[in-house]
């Protein structure tokens, strides 16, 4: 008689899993992506699984006799136990999924034991170069990596169940005022293109310095916070600012909303009307659920730990990170490309794990400056390979006026006054044409169209507006 599920040991579970796959080879494809050789603690079972894996990859059938042929030194007890289980197994696919789940949990328990044992040894050793803080950070990182090892044993979903879930998304979007399935950004053309900011998406907003990345991201975050304040569940926004202090960002927002130039606020040059406008603005926006964390040198593990706490306490629905290249790598890699790859991969995992949009700002490489047309391209992403791959949406912010203002034409030594004047007038006219204009270029969208969106940029208040909104003001 087969043992009860609760009484089974590690080896028993491993044998049953292998036996089930040998008995039902037609189901190997369904479950194999949730299996790997790290799950097997018994060397004999590991050998057997490796044979199974080899045959699966070569699309060949495998049986107990095949195992015996390929592993001639297999212990007779292992072969006997395996043969016995193949004859005895009568449970369903659903029950087998429980065995797979248990196999994974046993593996995670072993790994967790190794981590805690190692850290315990470190913490009790006086001759160590690591501080307690470093030990905890390393432990947090290892636990984060361990949590990502867990694979969900999903079964295939039939077409009817998938389409039903999709229809629910459509219904949700229809019932919303803005008619978007995602979170509104406050920029109508962008929301139309993206359908709002979608849960589980990693969104990269990139640009060269002084293009207005932080300003635009802050505008989006503020608009989302206002949107959440009108919803029943009162969601929140959190901004991890690794470059600017929370006070600096707060000053920008006050300038944007009060329409008092930020330089006047910084200098305290306020008249009576300014003071009144500032107080009124503060009263209007101070209850928004918009949170800031300006801790420097954060790792993704630390971000994850903080986000878990914030999400539980404040119902976080949107995350903003300023910016990607300032996130501290978990470990020193052999090069910066690999470090960035690890960071972007983990940020995508964060977005999926917490089921919310993560907007991360990113710098662009200097190669943009070497082209006549300085509109960014996907290849301009600094250490771009993994960023482009992991991101669901990649957007670039571009302002032609920034470059024009810094490239006023000069008169050549042999150039006539008329020629120079024409050149200068042409430059001046183009400056006036694009002065407050910006382009938001959606260069990649995994599940939708790409294209260019025109924005209005008010440099006095470092504020972006949709063209349609500016026209109505």
For position 295, which CATH number holds? 3.40.50.300
Helix 43-57, helix 76-88: angle, nearest 10: 60
* Positive or negative: CA dihedral 91, 94, 97, 98: negative
All residue ranges of the chain with pLDDT < 70 are 1-8, 26-34, 36-37, 57-59, 79, 85, 87-94, 115-179, 331-334, 382-385, 468-473
Q: What single DSSP character describes residue 197? A: B
Q: Report if residue 325 sits inside a domain.
A: yes
Within this chain, do residues 255 and 354 fall inside the same structural domain, yes or no?
yes
pLDDT in tens, 30-62: 666 567 667 777 777 788 777 777 777 666 777
Q: Report if residue 83 sits inside a domain.
A: yes
| pLDDT of res. 339 | 78
Distance in angstroms (rounded) separating the CA atoms of residues 44 and 74: 7
Q: Report if residue 309 sits inside a domain.
A: yes
User: How many CA atoms lie within 13 Å of 460's alpha carbon, on the beta-carbon side?
Assistant: 7
Taking Cα atoms as reference points, which of 227, 140, 134 lies closest to residue 177?
227
| pLDDT of res. 172 | 61
- From 147, 166, 189, give the residue that closes a domain: 147
Within this chain, do residues 212 and 325 fall inside the same structural domain, yes or no?
yes
Which structure tokens are listed for 226?
């206002």
Task: Give me the residue label for tokens 């999926």.
Answer: 352
Taking Cα atoms as reference points, which of 389, 300, 392, 378 lies closest to residue 339?
300
Q: Report if residue 264 sits inside a domain.
A: yes
| pLDDT of res. 294 | 84
Within this chain, do residues 110 and 259 fall inside the same structural domain, yes or no?
no
Q: Where in the sequence is the domain holding 135, given as residue range(s)?
A: 5-147
Q: Which residues contact 173 (CB under 8 A, 6 or more apart)?
A: 179, 180, 181, 195
Number of domains in the chain: 2
Output the domain CATH number for residue 135: 1.10.860.10
| pLDDT of res. 452 | 92
Terminal CA-to-CA distance of the chain, rounded, Å?
79
Strands (E), 53-145: none
Q: Which residues contact 456 (CB under 8 A, 6 or more apart)?
A: 436, 437, 438, 464, 465, 466, 467, 469, 470
């Amino acid at each position: 008689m087969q043992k009860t599920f609760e009484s089974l040991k590690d080896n028993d579970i491993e044998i049953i899993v292998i036996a089930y796959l040998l008995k039902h080879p037609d189901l190997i494809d369904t479950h194999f992506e949730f299996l790997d050789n790290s799950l097997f603690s018994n060397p004999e079972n590991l050998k057997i699984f490796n044979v199974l894996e080899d045959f699966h990859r070569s699309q060949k059938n495998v049986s107990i006799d095949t195992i015996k042929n390929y592993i001639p030194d297999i212990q007779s007890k292992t072969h006997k136990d395996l043969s016995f289980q193949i004859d005895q197994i009568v449970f369903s696919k659903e029950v087998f999924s429980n065995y797979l789940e248990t196999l994974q949990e046993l593996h995670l328990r072993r790994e967790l034991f190794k981590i805690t044992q190692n850290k315990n040894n470190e913490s009790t050793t006086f001759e160590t170069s690591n501080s307690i803080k470093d030990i905890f950070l390393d432990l947090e990182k290892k636990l984060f990596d361990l949590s990502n090892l867990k694979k969900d044993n999903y079964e295939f979903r039939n077409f009817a169940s998938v389409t039903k879930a999709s229809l629910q998304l459509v219904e949700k979007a229809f019932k919303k005022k803005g008619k978007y399935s995602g979170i509104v950004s406050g920029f109508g053309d962008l929301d139309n293109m993206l359908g709002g900011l979608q849960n589980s998406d990693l969104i990269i907003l990139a640009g060269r310095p002084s293009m207005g990345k932080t300003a635009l991201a802050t505008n989006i975050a503020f608009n989302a916070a206002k949107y959440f304040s009108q919803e029943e569940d009162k969601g929140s926004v959190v901004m991890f600012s690794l470059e600017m202090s929370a006070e600096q960002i707060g000053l920008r927002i006050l300038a944007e909303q009060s329409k008092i130039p930020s330089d006047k606020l910084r200098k305290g040059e306020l008249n009576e009307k300014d003071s009144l406008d500032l107080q009124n603005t503060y009263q209007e926006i101070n209850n928004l659920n918009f949170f800031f964390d300006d801790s420097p040198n954060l790792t993704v593990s630390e971000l994850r730990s903080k986000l878990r706490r914030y999400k539980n306490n404040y119902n976080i629905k949107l995350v903003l990170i300023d910016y990607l290249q300032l996130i501290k790598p978990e470990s020193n890699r052999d090069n910066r490309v690999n470090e960035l790859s690890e960071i972007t991969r983990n940020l995508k995992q964060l977005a999926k794990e917490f089921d919310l949009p993560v907007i991360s700002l990113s710098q662009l490489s200097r190669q943009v400056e070497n082209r006549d047309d300085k509109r960014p391209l996907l290849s301009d992403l600094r250490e771009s390979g993994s960023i482009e791959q992991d991101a669901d949406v990649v957007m670039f912010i571009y302002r032609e006026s920034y470059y024009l203002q810094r490239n006023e034409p000069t008169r050549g030594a042999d150039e006539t006054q008329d020629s120079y004047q024409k050149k200068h007038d042409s430059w001046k006219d183009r400056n006036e044409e694009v002065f407050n204009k910006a382009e938001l270029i959606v260069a990649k969208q995994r599940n939708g169209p790409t294209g260019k969106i025109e924005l209005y940029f008010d440099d006095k208040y470092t504020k972006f507006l949709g063209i349609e909104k500016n026209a109505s003001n």
